[in-house]
Amino acid sequence: MTTQTFHKDTWELFKSLELSKQLTTGETLAKLGHEHPEIVALCADLGYPTRLADFGEKFPDRFFDFGLAEKNMVTAAAGLASTGKKAYVSTYASFLGVLCAEQIRTAVAYPNLNVRLIGTHTGIAMGFYGTSHHATEDIAITRSMANMTVISPADGVALSEMIEESVKTYEGPIYFRVSRGRETPIYENNSSNIQNKIGKANVVREGSDITIIACGIEVKQALEAAELLERENISTRVIDMHTIKPIDQEIIFNSAKNTGAILTVEEHNVQGGLGSAVAEVLMESGNFCKFKRHGIYDEYSIIGKPYYLYHHYKLDGEGIADEAKTLLNQS
């Protein structure tokens, strides 16, 4: 059995069990494919786990599988983009945002090309696959590259909306940081009708005592923390900072002023990630408040089931609530 056959069979099982409820990158691109013939998609032996295969099944002549040659894939995507294509590249984040850093910098970001890099299975989501498969440095790496937009959507709905924006109106290279695709959606059937726009953060819960700024799957965990804190009469504002670069400075200033305390939460090393980006905005503007970065504290992640890893690193609702209370209790 080939790797692709295994992944395809596994994906069909997930669908039959309704374990995959979210829109995928491939589905979104497939819907746009006829209207936008400039879209091409590239994968590295992981078309089914990353779901780019959904696009490939409809447009096989615009879908390219490079096997286990991620660096070649990124360089080829740059070549296609230089001819006017919009190239969507996807593989596991550890093999894209980390392994391919030099190719992304030199072939994609430096010439400012329309290559959209979609790193999946980010952070510690790969669990027992081990530290080599955990991507806890990719935000810091890509955020430091000139011309690069960095986005970490909270769920498949948000990802789909911003993929569509990237096709229709947005120019330049983008690094999308997404998880496994089976997370609980927070924007599905949302009554507030929040639209996810690149560069504009979302207030997903209002509060007055503390602000939790999160990205990716940690937005859902931050909302769970806010529910726990409410039981202790702590009013918590939760912000989905899906776009880490360019970051929404106005909403950070507003939160510092109105709540007086900000806790950032990310499934990433606290060095150079979302927390560092928020801290830079606060310090350079002089909008000071109680502040703490919460994530993985400058270490290589351990190995285990994802559920236990999130609990170990206090990246679940209970752990985030504890961190928020610790921050509030600081003098």
Query: What's the domain range around 259?
Result: 202-328
Same domain, 136 and 233: no
pLDDT score for 20 = 43
Contact 148, 101 (CB under 8 A): no
Last residue of a domain, one of 161, 177, 193: 177
3-state DSSP assignment of residue 252:
helix
Q: Is residue 162 part of a domain?
A: yes
pLDDT score for 8 = 54
Q: Is residue 194 part of a domain?
A: no
String of b and e for 289-317 (b: at least 16 CB within 10 Å)? Answer: bbbbbbbbeeeebebeebeebbeebbbbb
Q: Is residue 211 part of a domain?
A: yes
Q: Give the active site residue among 35, 70, 164, 206.
A: 70
How many independent structural domains does the chain possess? 2
The helix-helix angle for 274-285 and 249-259 (nearest 10°) equals 70
Cβ-based neighbours of 107, under 8 Å, separated by 6 or more: 74, 75, 78, 113
Q: Tell me, what amino acid is at 309?
A: L
pLDDT score for 190 = 63
Pairing of strands 174-177, 115-120: parallel
Same domain, 19 and 159: yes
Same domain, 171 and 287: no
Q: Copy the structure tokens of residue 286.
A: 């002089």
Q: pTM of the entire structure? A: 0.92
pLDDT score for 30 = 93
* Domain containing residue 304: CATH number: 3.40.50.920
pLDDT score for 245 = 98
* Domain containing residue 11: CATH number: 3.40.50.970
pLDDT score for 189 = 66
Q: Is residue 144 part of a domain?
A: yes
Last residue of a domain, one of 116, 144, 177: 177
pLDDT score for 4 = 52
Q: Is residue 216 part of a domain?
A: yes
CA geometry: angle 274, 71, 27, nearest 5 deg: 70
Same domain, 121 and 240: no
Same domain, 171 and 308: no
Q: Is residue 190 part of a domain?
A: no
Per DSSP, the residues of 266-280 read EEEESSSSHHHHHHH
How many whole angstroms separate alpha carbon 26 and alpha carbon 11?
A: 13
Same domain, 216 and 165: no
Catalytic residue status for 232: no
pLDDT score for 19 = 39
Same domain, 70 and 213: no
Q: Tell me, what amino acid is at 177?
A: R
Instruction: Sort residue 281 into left (φ over 0), alpha (ψ -120 to 50) or beta.
Output: alpha
| Average pLDDT, 10 consecutive residues per value, the chain (331 residues) | 49 42 77 96 88 91 95 98 97 95 98 97 92 95 98 94 96 94 77 84 97 97 98 98 98 96 98 98 92 96 94 97 97 74
How many whole angstroms separate alpha carbon 319 and alpha carbon 317?
A: 6
Same domain, 37 and 163: yes
Same domain, 150 and 218: no
